Amino acid sequence: MRILFTTLFFAFLTALASAADMGRSVVQVLVYSQTPIWDAPWRNNPVAGSSGTGFVIDGDRVMTNAHVVSWAKQIVLRRFQDPRPWLARVEYISHECDLAVLKVDTPGFFDGLKPLPLGGLPKVQSTVVTCGYPAGGEQISYTRGVVSRIEMQNYVHIGNRAFLSVQTDAAINPGNSGGPVFQGDEVVGIAFMGTPGLENTGFFIPSAVINHFLEDVSDGKYDGFPKAGVRIVSLQNPAYRRYLGLPVTGDGARIDSLADYTEKAGLLKKDDVILAVGEHPVGSDGTILLEGNRVYCTTAFQVPQKGEKLKLKIWRDNKEVDVAVPMEVRDDDINIGNLYDAPPRYFVFAGLVFTPLTLDYVKTFGRNWRGVANSEMIYELYYRRNETPAKVRKEPVVLATTLAHPVNADMRLASRAMIDTINGKRIETLEDVIAAFEENTKPQHMIQFISGTVECLDNTRAELANPEILSTYGIQTDRRL
Amino acid sequence: MKIKTPLILASCIFATASAVFSQDAPEPDWQASIVTFDITRNNFNFRIPWDKRAQTAAKLGTVIEGNEILTTAQGLANRTLVRLQKGGRGKWYNGSVEWVDYQANLAVVAVSDPAFWVGLAPVRFAHANELKRNLQIVRWRGGNIERRAAEFSRFSVADANFNQAPRIEMKASSEMEGAGRGELMVSGGRVVGLVASKSGSTCSVIPAPFITSILEKRASDDYRGLGFFDFVWQPVSNPATTKYFEFSGQTGGVLLIKPSTRPGTKSPLKLHDIILEIDGYPIDIQGDYLDPDYGHVIMEYLACRKKWGATLLNSKSGGTVRNRKSITFCRRLISQKTSSSTAPLARNPPT
């Protein structure tokens, strides 16, 4: 027993020494950023300062988290034990997997800095060391912990995508984000999030996700993670397995529903049973065995790049079928995730502020936005796409607010309402709103909301009021498209 | 200081006369008209639907004509035993619920034991013009009659307990603790209503005219539940909207934005019809009408005001109605051409 402790102690010292040596390639990322105000989309919040961590990778680049540099107005890097600030810029960014690659144009920044090599997936219970510039001090900080578990986790930066994630009890605090997680001489992940209310629960992005991102951008542009457009559920009900002609205790998880585009492609069908994804057999609970860890099979769905094919072994009509599914990047659910870098689109007419319906907009209702947003909004945002895909609008538009003025003072429904038609034109996008107003020659404009409520505006008075309203409320331009 | 005796005398006579003539009837002995209920009911667990627990509830009722007791419908669902006590103490008698309408929140209970009725007297209900003054809430408490003053606030139309059928409510404030279990609200010698609930110091009272009209319909076996409009409308206070729909010459009216919300219903009303009047009552731009009993209230109440689920038949242009009684009648104005049609009235049959 004493020998075991001695061995573990030396292994720990070796790990820390190795991490400390590689810590020279770890940089502090200081950011000034400015986020938009989604219900007053011509305005921004005040510029705020924040900090994170990054590390040098191949190609004279710095890797960090996307959330560290989102909405950045200025990015400054500080090297290990070097007081000089170095201006950086974002070269590639993936908000879905919360990763970004930075470039430093000033010569000399990378002098003496070794790119850190990426390793593989660490084993559960193995020791890792996080490294970065967390809050509480100025100097680089190292903390040791073990890998607690490995599984799919929702990435909070985007909010609506899940990727493989590694949980550790090593401290991951504000400022650690973007910092490397070492195991031996290799980076096995990037620290990126914690769980409020839980202690010693930090998460890092494993190298599989990092490598997918780096391979994606190797052609000079970021495409994103493709999706298969299927919902997979466990298949452990013996009666259901018999119904599908499968042995009661065998493998395979069932496709429960398909996205509209997957259904149209016709390669996959509801009640198909996925027996294997690539080389990984799929268990009846929907998991695969990945380097000794049981993780959800969608992990393997995230391996192909855009345009590549995903090989599936399917059980359909009582026989095995091999299917190669072309994997494409989809943005159909972009508005139910957090949006970054592109300021919100809007159009102001007669004091009526129109903007696309997005999660960021409804979150302006407060923490209890789910209880505040009306049912039409929630349905349009989350359910329409699945329940009535033929009626999906490309960009549902909402009347965000109304800037008070005599021309609109008689409107009863003046904010937080979904637009159905304007002057009889069905509103599919924000551009439709503009066209509907501009093309109308009748004395009144008629706005019909999805709830059925109708409001009208006097055409001539609205045109005359526009410049005054923009001036009164300090709006530079009536639209951002 | 000179005392002006004739003036004081005249004042006393006037005050006495006012006190006498301000009440329509002598104050009755409420002890003979208010009874106490003890209800045992099954409280079902809807997650484990075979599981149920016995629950008891206490409330109040009042004696009405025909040896029956009137109370609110609250607490009577899934009942297993209904017992009544008169005089605030003594023997309990078994009762049976003869009629209940959960939407109207009214129930009638019978007691078969003749001994129960000895000494009890039916109450008289107030008319519509007697609802607002000298209000008191009366109930049994601890074996004694408790009376507390109440003050009229307003009439409003609220959704029924279990669906969208509208019913009229009288709001009144009172400091009586724990009211809302069928206590009587009285004025002078008449019952103004039953207290159905209380929030803070505000009591919701089922007004007497609503109760009496339902009881009359029940007596004639013609009560078929409260009605409600199956269309959705919006106020039209925006002048641009009135211009757009070309009815700016009208002084009132609301815009129909969903002709029917019931599947399978063919409504004679069309999208964007303007509802100018219902049953002869002009509708203002807020959707209110002037009710002869309750003042300005929302037009939804016209769906059940003295109708109780009357079957509606077609009307021809010009407004001929064929139903023998209350008809919902809407004039449709489109492009300044007036036409007429009837609107359907959905029924909520009493339970």
Q: Which two tokens stand for residue A190?
A: 């990037």
Percent of chain A with pLDDT over 70: 96
Mean pLDDT to the nearest integer, B135-156: 95
Residues A225 and A214: beta-carbon distance below 8 Å = no
pLDDT tens profile B327-338: 344 433 332 223
Say which DSSP state A235 is in: -
Nearest Cα to Cα of residue A62 among A220, A252, A197, A190: A190
- For A25-34, A165-174, A236-245, B254-263, which range has the lowest pLDDT when averaged over its residues? B254-263
Question: Is the per-residue pLDDT at A200 higher than 50?
Answer: yes
Q: Which two tokens stand for residue A248?
A: 């009661």
Q: Which two tokens stand for residue B86?
A: 């008169």
Q: Which two tokens stand for residue A221?
A: 């542009």
Determine, for residues B240 and A410 on separate chains, whether the beta-carbon distance falls below 8 Å.
yes
Burial class (CB in 10 A: 0-12, 13-18, 19+), B161: middle
pLDDT tier for residue A476 given thresholds of 50, 70 and 90: very high
- pLDDT score, position B345: 53
pLDDT tier for residue B305 given thresholds of 50, 70 and 90: confident
- pLDDT score, position B288: 94
- For A1-15, A183-197, B280-294, which range has the lowest pLDDT when averaged over its residues? A1-15
- pLDDT score, position A454: 95
For chain B, the average pLDDT equals 81
Q: Residue A189 is inside which H or E element, if any?
A: strand A186-194
Task: Name the β-bridge partners of A313.
Answer: A276, A322
Q: Provide, as residue numbers in chain A, all residues whose Cβ is less than 8 Å from the Cβ of B235.
A: 412
- Which of A412, A453, A457 lies nearest to residue B237, judging by beta carbons? A412
Handedness of CA B252, B256, B262, B266 (dihedral sign): positive
CB atoms near residue A448 (< 10 Å): 21
Helix, coil or strand: residue B19: helix
Task: Name the β-bridge partners of A101.
Answer: A63, A92
Q: Which two tokens stand for residue B94?
A: 């078994």
d(CA A118, CA A208): 9
Burial class (CB in 10 A: 0-12, 13-18, 19+), B107: buried
A98 is catalytic: yes
Residues B169 and B209: beta-carbon distance below 8 Å = no
CA distance A381 to chain B (A): 23
- Which of A442, A454, A458 lies nearest to residue B255, judging by beta carbons? A454
- Cβ–Cβ contact A474 with B under 8 A: no
Determine, for residues A456 and B272 on separate chains, whether the beta-carbon distance falls below 8 Å.
no
- pLDDT score, position A6: 45
- pLDDT score, position A8: 43
Residues B212 and B123: beta-carbon distance below 8 Å = no
CA distance A186 to chain B (A): 54
Q: Which two tokens stand for residue A102?
A: 């930075």
- Which of B234, B240, B255 lies nearest to residue A457, judging by beta carbons? B240
- pLDDT score, position B304: 78
Question: Is the per-residue pLDDT at A163 higher than 90?
Answer: yes
Locate the chain B residue with the closest alpha carbon to A447.
Answer: B241
d(CA A481, CA A355): 10
Mean pLDDT to the nearest integer, A418-428: 97
Q: Residue A196 is inside which H or E element, if any?
A: none
Determine, for residues B243 and A452 on separate chains, whether the beta-carbon distance falls below 8 Å.
no
- pLDDT score, position B249: 64
Nearest Cα to Cα of residue B278 among B289, B286, B262, B269: B289
- pLDDT score, position A19: 62
A405 is catalytic: no
pLDDT tier for residue B277 given thresholds of 50, 70 and 90: confident
d(CA A377, CA A384): 10
Question: Is the per-residue pLDDT at A398 higher than 60?
Answer: yes
- pLDDT score, position B280: 84
- pLDDT score, position B161: 65
- pLDDT score, position B229: 84
- pLDDT score, position B274: 86
How many alpha carbons lie under 13 Å from residue A136 in its C-beta half-sphere? 11
d(CA B233, CA A159): 38
- pLDDT score, position A136: 84
Q: Residue A246 is inside which H or E element, if any?
A: none
Active-site annotation holder among A25, A39, A51, A67: A67
Specify the pTM: 0.84
d(CA A413, CA A174): 42
What residues contact B49, with CB distance under 8 A and at least 6 apart? none
Residue A361: alpha-carbon gap to chain centroid: 16
Residue A115: alpha-carbon gap to chain centroid: 27
Handedness of CA B159, B165, B166, B172 (dihedral sign): negative
pLDDT tens profile A44-103: 999 999 999 999 999 999 999 999 999 999 999 999 999 999 999 999 999 999 999 999
pLDDT tier for residue B350 given thresholds of 50, 70 and 90: very low
- pLDDT score, position B346: 52
Percent of chain A with pLDDT over 90: 86
Determine, for residues B234 and A412 on separate chains, whether the beta-carbon distance falls below 8 Å.
yes
pLDDT tens profile B7-39: 454 444 444 444 444 445 567 889 999 999 999
pLDDT tens profile B55-104: 999 999 999 999 999 999 999 999 999 999 999 999 999 999 999 998 88
Mean pLDDT to the nearest integer, B40-57: 92
Among A419-423, B161-165, B303-307, top mean pLDDT goes to: A419-423
d(CA A191, CA B77): 59
ipTM reported for the complex surpasses 0.85 = no
What residues contact B291, with CB distance under 8 A and at least 6 apart? B155, B281, B297, B301, B305
Determine, for residues A411 and B238 on separate chains, whether the beta-carbon distance falls below 8 Å.
yes
- For A91-100, A416-425, B107-116, B221-230, which range has the lowest pLDDT when averaged over its residues? B221-230
Q: Which of B233, B238, B242 to mutate to test the interface with A (most CBs of A within 10 A)?
A: B238
Question: Is the per-residue pLDDT at B264 higher than 80?
Answer: no
Percent of chain B with pLDDT over 70: 77
**A97 phi and psi angles, rounded to 5 deg:** -105, 10
A444-449 and B34-44 as β-strands: parallel, antiparallel, unpaired? unpaired
- pLDDT score, position B307: 59
Mean pLDDT to the nearest integer, B263-282: 82
Q: Which two tokens stand for residue B264?
A: 């399978």
What Å distances lie between residue A165 and A77, A79, A143, B219, CA to CA?
A: 27, 28, 19, 72
Locate the chain A residue with the closest alpha carbon to B272.
Answer: A454
Locate the chain B residue with the closest alpha carbon to A459.
Answer: B240
Q: Provide, as residue numbers in chain B, all residues whose Cβ is less than 8 Å from the Cβ of A443.
A: 243-244
Task: Name the β-bridge partners of B81.
Answer: B40
Both ends of chain A: CA-CA distance in Å?
A: 68
Determine, for residues B240 and A452 on separate chains, whether the beta-carbon distance falls below 8 Å.
no
pLDDT tens profile B184-205: 999 989 999 999 999 999 999 9
A67 is catalytic: yes
CB atoms near residue B326 (< 10 Å): 18
What residues contact A174, with CB distance under 8 A and at least 6 apart? A134, A135
* More reliable by pLDDT, A83 or B4: A83
- pLDDT score, position B328: 41
pLDDT tens profile A257-276: 999 899 999 999 999 999 99
Residue A335 identity:
N
- pLDDT score, position B246: 79
Question: Is the per-residue pLDDT at B323 higher than 50?
Answer: no
Q: Provide, as residue numbers in chain B, all residues whose Cβ is less than 8 Å from the Cβ of A445.
A: 240
* More reliable by pLDDT, B243 or A320: A320
Active-site annotation holder among A33, A51, A141, A177: A177
